[in-house]
Amino acid sequence: MFKKQATLWFIVVIVCVVITYYYQKSKAAENYQKMLEVAVKSCDLETMKSLAKKSRDASNIGKRALYYAVQRGCLEIVTFLLDEGVDINAINVALFDAASYGQLEVVKLLLKRGANPLVVLKGNTAKLQQYGSHFVQLIVITARNLTMKS
Summarised one tens digit per residue, pLDDT across range 59-117 is 566 777 888 898 889 999 999 988 888 888 766 578 878 887 888 899 889 988 988 77
Residue pair 68/37 in contact (Cβ under 8 Å)? The answer is yes
Rounded Cα distance between 7 and 11, Å, is: 6
CB-CB contact of 108 with 146 (8 Å) = yes
Gap between the Cα atoms of 28 and 147, Å rounded: 46
Residue 22 phi, psi dihedral angles, 5° rounding: -70, -30
- Residue 35 pLDDT > 90: no
149 vs 4, residue with greater confidence: 4
Q: What is the pLDDT of residue 75?
A: 93
Query: Contact, 95 vs 127, CB < 8 A?
Result: no
Residue 48: the pLDDT is: 85
Say what the pLDDT of residue 77 is: 92
Lowest mean pLDDT, pick from 8-12, 46-50, 118-122, 140-144: 118-122
